[in-house]
Amino acid sequence: MGIHIKNLKVRPKKAGVTVMCAPQLTTMLGCWAASGDLHSVGACQEAAQDLFRCMRTTPLPKKVHAPTINYHLARLRKRVQ
């Protein structure tokens, strides 16, 4: 009856990297583009300090568990096919 797959598994999609302090980061990068102050000593010093303060104070993002789809597929293999 149809296709028989011995080991049913998929390549689960990896969750994207969560960027911490994204608004402060975009502000600083935009400031670099506008002023050319890549070392953050002149015009972009304020924006850089904001980013550093944010990185110091925000709690780390919680670790996301890897997808368990393959476990469930292996478990339900005989029922699905």
Partner 1 sequence: MLRSLSTSLRSSCRPVALRTASLPARSLSSQSTQSSRAEETTEESYNLLANSQQNTGDDIAQLLNLDVLTAPKESNAPPVMNIPPQEDPLLHYLASRIMQSGHRARANRIVARTLLNIHAYTRAPPLPILRQAIFKAAPAVRCLNHRIATKQVLKPIPLSEKQSIGRAITWILEEVEGYPGSKQVRQGGSQLEERLAREIIKIIKGESAVLATKEKVHREAMLNRGSVGKA
Instruction: Please give the Cα distance from 70 to 64 (Å, whole number).
Output: 17
What residues make contact with partner 1 under the rule CB under 8 A? 16-17, 19-22, 24-26, 28-30, 32-33, 38-40, 48, 51-52, 55-56
Closest CA to 32 of 20, 19, 48: 48
Assess contact for 80 and 9: CB atoms under 8 A: no
Residue among 22 and 76 whose Cβ is closer to partner 1: 22
Q: How far is the CB of 25 from partner 1 (least distance, A)?
A: 5
Q: How far is the CB of 51 from partner 1 (least distance, A)?
A: 6
